[in-house]
Amino acid sequence: MNITIIGATSGVGLSCVKQALAKGHKITALSPRAQQLLQDEPMLTKINGSATSLTDVKEAIKNADAILVCINTKQKKGTILFSEMANVVIPAMQEICPDAIILVISGFGVGDSMPYLGFFMKLIIKTLLKDQYDDKAIMENLFAKSKLKWEMIRPGILSDALPTGKYQLFPNLLKKMKIGKITKGDLADFMLKEVDEKKFLLKTPAITQSI
């Protein structure tokens, strides 16, 4: 399968690249530092570019069966990265690969999931990450209004720990649900399985480590 990974050089994106190559997929990686990725990988195409550049995105998705969006930012105030990405990726996909599936990392606490957070996480988001989460909510709404085959994945706190292979999924919001940490490797594992299984199309599943 041809998979495009946007935001491919660190974190979940890098885990997706490594796991997808191990599974035999053909990967196109889009990142400002894509050339730093693994060398001598015949199944890996590297594109130095931006998730908010229409030209770069069109080049990256031209052969895609599936697209994984793993972008992130350290900018806490005033960020519009996520909505800008959506405003570029949606028309690009509609023109080039309207039948491809797109999986986008959002966050638990975005949009209608905010009331389901514990007090401590609500406080962190409202005081430190409000702009990021507000922009992710705009991003989710833009995809929801499109005709694409999308999934917005809402992880808990991302962890650098070794993947466990054990995690829980919540396709719907439930009272007293507990969404905690999830390793980046386990999130990547789920995303690649979902590329094949497509269980949560047009949904916003939450993911957390199994207890």
Give residue-wise pLDDT tens across range 58-117.
999 999 999 999 999 988 889 999 999 999 999 999 999 999 999 999 999 999 999 999
Per-residue pLDDT band for 211 (boundaries 50, 70, 90) equals: low
Per-residue pLDDT band for 21 (boundaries 50, 70, 90) equals: very high
Give the DSSP H/E element, type plus range, for residue 121. Answer: helix 119-128
Pick from 173, 175, 167, 174: nearest CA to 194: 167
pTM (two decimals): 0.96
β partners of residue 45: 28
Question: Residues 18-40: what's their mean pLDDT?
Answer: 95
pLDDT of residue 168: 96
Q: Catalogue all structural domains in the chain, each as residue range(s) with its CATH number.
A: 2-209 (3.40.50.720)
> 106 or 118: which carries more pLDDT confidence?
106
pLDDT of residue 74: 86
Pick from 97, 22, 106: nearest CA to 67: 97
Q: What value, to the nearest 5°, has the Cα angle with vertex 43 and ends 148 and 31?
A: 60
Task: Answer yes or no: are the C-beta atoms of 195 and 103 closer than 8 Å.
Answer: yes
State the number of CA atoms in the 13 A half-sphere of 10 facing the CB.
9
